[in-house]
Structure 1
Amino acid sequence: MTFQLEKVNSFKQIFSLTSSLISSFDGCGGVELLQDAGNETIFFTLSKWESEAHLNAYRSSVLFQTTWAKVKPLFSEKAEAWTLNSTN
């Protein structure tokens, strides 16, 4: 996610307030915030889910919808998301 520079602190605050709620969502094994080493406006959230069904339930939840409504206006570029599999 790429944010407007002046909105970075707002995003960090939103994440701080919601990360424990996301982590405690059914099927979530935790969520982490990562920031690009070379560009302070680029962030990644890394969350681990028991299954795609759990992730989809979160994406359909009021928690996701209300959080997304707060975060989306802070972007400077369209957000991207990936679903990844561990190779370990």
Structure 2
Amino acid sequence: MFVRIVKLSFHEDKIPDFLANFETIKDQIRAAPGNKLLELYQDQNNKSIFFTYSYWETETDLENYRNSAFFDEVWTFTKKLFNDKPQAWSVDKLASLV
């Protein structure tokens, strides 16, 4: 399983815009070919910091999503809200205990 973790930091007054947009697009992201999971987290101490976790069948599935017109539209909107450069990690899931 291929996992993408993205750290996003927003201007405080832009958080409602981000959350409203995420609410409208989350199902489309989740429906992207190869996407198996999409989660959004907010830092407990700094409410301006969010993380997305998305699970993909393959790295190619993620790259196809990232090269789509839909992603371009989402990213164009979202990047205007940032107060810091986003960070991203691509990791392989090795274990999960539930």
Q: TM-score range by the shorter chain?
A: over 0.9
CA distance in 1 between counterparts of 2:37 and 2:27 reads 8
Q: Is residue 2:69 matched to residue 1:71?
A: no
Alignment correspondent of 2:44: 37
Consecutive unaligned residues in structure 1, runs of 5 or more: none
The answer to whether 1:48 aligns with 2:55 is yes
TM-score normalized by the length of structure 2: 0.88
Q: Could you tell me how far apart the structure 2 residues matched to 1:49 and 1:28 are?
A: 5
1:44-74 CA-partner distances (Å, limit 9, x unpaired)? 0110000000000000001100000000000
Q: Which AA in structure 1 matches 2:67?
A: S
Corresponding residue SS for 2:52? strand
Deviations 1:15-72 (A, max 9, x none): 1111100000100002111000111000001100000000000000011000000000
Identity within the alignment, %? 35
Larger RCO of the pair (alpha carbons < 8 Å, separation 6+): 2
Which residue among 7, 11, 14 is the counterpart of 1:4?
11
Say if 2:88 is the partner of 1:81.
Answer: yes
Taking structure 1 as the reference length, the TM-score comes to 0.97
Going by fraction, where is strand more abundant, 1 or 2?
A: 2
Q: Which amino acid is the alignment partner of residue 81 of structure 1?
A: A
Distance in 1 (alpha carbons) for counterparts of 2:10 and 2:16 = 10
Name the structure with the higher helix share.
1
Letter in 2 for 1:27: G
How many residue pairs match? The answer is 88
